[in-house]
Structure 1
Amino acid sequence: MPSARSNGLDLYYETFGSDHDPALLLVMGMGEQLLGWPEEFCRRLADRGFHVIRFDHRDVGASTWLDDLGDVDVKALFTGDTSTVRYTFTDLVADTVGLITALGLSRVHLAGVSMGAGIAQQIAIDHPPLVASLASVSGTTSDPAVRESTISDPSVLLPSPGADRDAAIEAEVVLYRAIGSSAVSDEELLRRAIAKVDRAHHPAGVLRHLAANATATDRTEGLRAVWVPTVVIHGGDDPLLGLRGARATAEATGADLVVVPGMAHDLPEHAWNPIIDAIARNAAAKTAS
């Protein structure tokens, strides 16, 4: 199993394409394993001339789990009590920067989804020499004023620590039926859920991710100073993070906003080509500075 030592942790990663091509690091969202970047999607990116890298964040998938840190009090967190936050959004950013360094990469193209978009944004703010281009997908600036959600039952976002395999699989299906694209079939949702649960079911880590994401601060001012080529990509039907946050990100960076019709808070197959085209086009752009 390929893993790299970053920030004192072992981060599992997989690659696609030739390592002679420019590196494209894919940063997944809160609680998601690298499976959130479908294998065929990664192969298509590699076919566009990238050395594609997907990885598991800390506490999910095959990377280091941190159960010794303790659980998160979710009810307290929702009241603003952060006393049981076990690590922060900044730590997740540092993990990703450490992975870039551990892989011996001096500069990478970055594409992040949801919380991963925030991580990628923060790296572009704090470490611009590391970033060749930035693609922010299904993300926001973390400004509370642009927060937008139409999810009627937020409890679907929370995994159940005591769930058995069948219950965990069903919860994944329910989650992505609530936040995902309507074009994705029930059979495909079930296939993805089984793959995720059977690979690494770790709800305590997902909840620690939730708590870490809650510590992210508004990046708007920092994004105004980002000078690397940037594109903002968002689903036109995203019920979890609506277009308001995407528009704010695009406005702050001066980036193009690509809205994908029929795409919600996921990566449905019909959206792959528009997303890949936007990433490749942006990566080919000249640096603004």
Structure 2
Amino acid sequence: MGTVQANGIEIAYELHGDPSGLPLLIVSGLGQQLVGWHPDLLRAMVRRGFRVVVYDNRDVGLSTHFDHLGQPDLTAALSGDADAAAYTLLDMAADAIGLMDALGWESAHVLGSSLGGMIAQTLALHFPDRVRSLTSVSSTPGNYEETRPTPEAAAALLRPVAASREAYIDGAEQAYNIIGPGEFPHDREWARRRAGMAWDRRYDPHGTARQLLAALAADDRTAALRQLTIPTLVVHGTADPLIPVAGGRHTAAAVPFAELLEIDGMGHDLPRQVWERLLDKLDDVAHRGEVATTARRMPIA
């Protein structure tokens, strides 16, 4: 674990795996800290031959927080006025590039989930030479009218600010029960453990709200994604109440030759029961990305 200066801010990160492994940059979702990725899943990625970096996006965890910008006006933003966004998804994608620079990574395979998927898409569009393959999980290219959350999921996402560690953990577990597991078994122990770790590192609801504004202010990426030539995998659960499966279908339909993995019964989370299926597909898209990267580097005769 460490911290680097990247894109003018501090980024906290954690590396896993052998330095000779395939570089895999993982981009977290809304308000999620690097400790939100299950350590068993990260170890499984390492066993597949990846050198994995997870990190705190700006405004969460131990990375730079934009406290001086105060509490954002979510009510206005949810009504369609996102002019008050403190930064953009492109800024957040540039943070990832800055982290890669600090690690000495010329390029990497990129996996992003939820908001992280939006950032990963933006990264691939604006920095295509730095992305070997793209995996977009439980995300959307921006068809927000068609991918609205259920009322219950929206309420869980916008739950009141917690006044204590125990209240935060209880609220996170309740939100997980609504948003996360879908039809898969609930992992209550993990939901509570990662919430406790997040609180102990730094709980910042205003930072999470500023991230949400960046997503709401973003332009629809559908047209731009049609020009993408990077090998792409799209993963989405059919029971996702926060970003309905239409988000994944729109993403896969936009990116030429993208592969769509729909997981029946999965909500807005990656339960242990789907990891092997996900990793098999990740292996495949990474292999295609390696082939494409090698071809790009070959001199033209």
Q: What does residue 94 of structure 1 align with?
A: 94
Matched, 1:64 2:67: no
Aligned to 2:263: 260
Distance 1:64 1:185 in 2: 30
State the shift of 1:235 in Å: 1.4
Aligned mates of 1:69, 1:161 — CA distance in 2: 18
Which residue number in structure 2 is paired with residue 138 of structure 1? 138
2:255 counterpart of 1:274? no
Question: Which residues in structure 2 correspond to 1:189-208 (within 5 Å)?
Answer: 189-208=191-210
Q: Sort the Cα spacing of 1:197 and 1:150 in 2 relative to 1 into closer, same or farther, 3 A.
A: same
What letter matches 1:201 in structure 2?
Y
1:14 match: 14
Query: Which position in structure 1 is the counterpart of 2:299?
Result: none
Structure-2 separation of matches of 1:175 and 1:245 = 20
| 1:143 and 1:217 in contact (8 A); partners too | no
The answer to whether the 8 A contact 1:18-1:51 is kept is: yes
The SS at the match of 1:284 is helix
By how many angstroms is 1:162 displaced? Answer: 5.3
Give the conservation status (yes or no) of the 8 Å contact 2:154–2:242: no
The structural deviation recorded for 1:196 is 2.1
One-letter amino acid matched to 1:283: A
Matched residues in 2 for 1:196 and 1:17: separation? 23
Taking the TM superposition and a 5 Å limit, the aligned residue runs for 1:157-176 are 157-161=157-161, 163-176=163-176
Q: What letter is aligned with 1:239?
A: P
**Distance in structure 2 (CA, Å) of the matches to 1:32 and 1:229:** 26
Query: How many Å apart are 1:36 and its aligned residue?
Result: 2.3
Deviates more, 1:47-56 or 1:180-189: 180-189
Distance 1:103 1:191 in 2: 29
* Paired residues for 1:100-111 under 5 Å: 100-111=100-111
Determine the C-alpha separation between the residues in 1 that align with 2:264 and 2:13.
31
State which of 278, 282, 286 in structure 2 corresponds to 1:283.
Answer: 286
Structure 2: gaps of 5 or more residues: 297-301
> C-alpha displacement at 1:200, in angstroms?
2.0
C-alpha separation in 1, matches of 2:143 and 2:104: 33
Q: Tell me how far 1:219 sits from its aligned partner.
A: 0.7
Partner secondary structure for residue 152 of structure 2: coil
Task: Specify which of 251, 255, 261 is matched with residue 249 of structure 1.
Answer: 251
Give, as a single letter, the amino acid of the residue that structure 1 aligns with 2:198.
K
Partner of 1:223: 225
* Alpha-carbon contact 1:147-1:244 (below 8 Å) kept: yes
- With 76-85 and 63-72 compared, the bigger mean Cα shift is at 76-85
Note the alpha carbon deviations across 1:107-146, whole angstroms, 9 max, x for none. Answer: 1000000111111111111111101111111111112343
Q: Which moved more, 1:45-54 or 1:90-99?
A: 90-99
Instruction: State the alpha-carbon separation in 2 of the partners of residues 61 and 132 from structure 1.
Output: 27
- Structure 1 unaligned segments of length 5 or more: list them: none
Structure 2 residue 158 is the aligned partner of structure 1 residue 155:
no
User: Residue type of the partner of 2:196?
Assistant: I
CA contact (8 A) 1:250 1:256 kept: yes
Q: CA-to-partner distance for each residue in 1:238-273, whole Å, 9 max, x for gaps? A: 111111111111111121111123321012111211
Output the CA distance in 1 between the equivalents of 2:161 and 2:191. Answer: 21
Mapped to 2, the partners of 1:205 and 1:144 lie a distance apart of 22
- What SS class does the counterpart of residue 257 from structure 1 fall into? strand
Match of 1:212 in 2: 214
Q: TM-score, normalised by structure 2?
A: 0.90
Residue type of the partner of 1:70?
G
Give secondary structure in 1 for the equivalent of 2:217: coil
1:19-57, Cα deviation, whole Å (9 max, x unpaired): 112200000111111122211111111111111000000
Q: Which residue of 2 aligns with 1:5?
A: 5
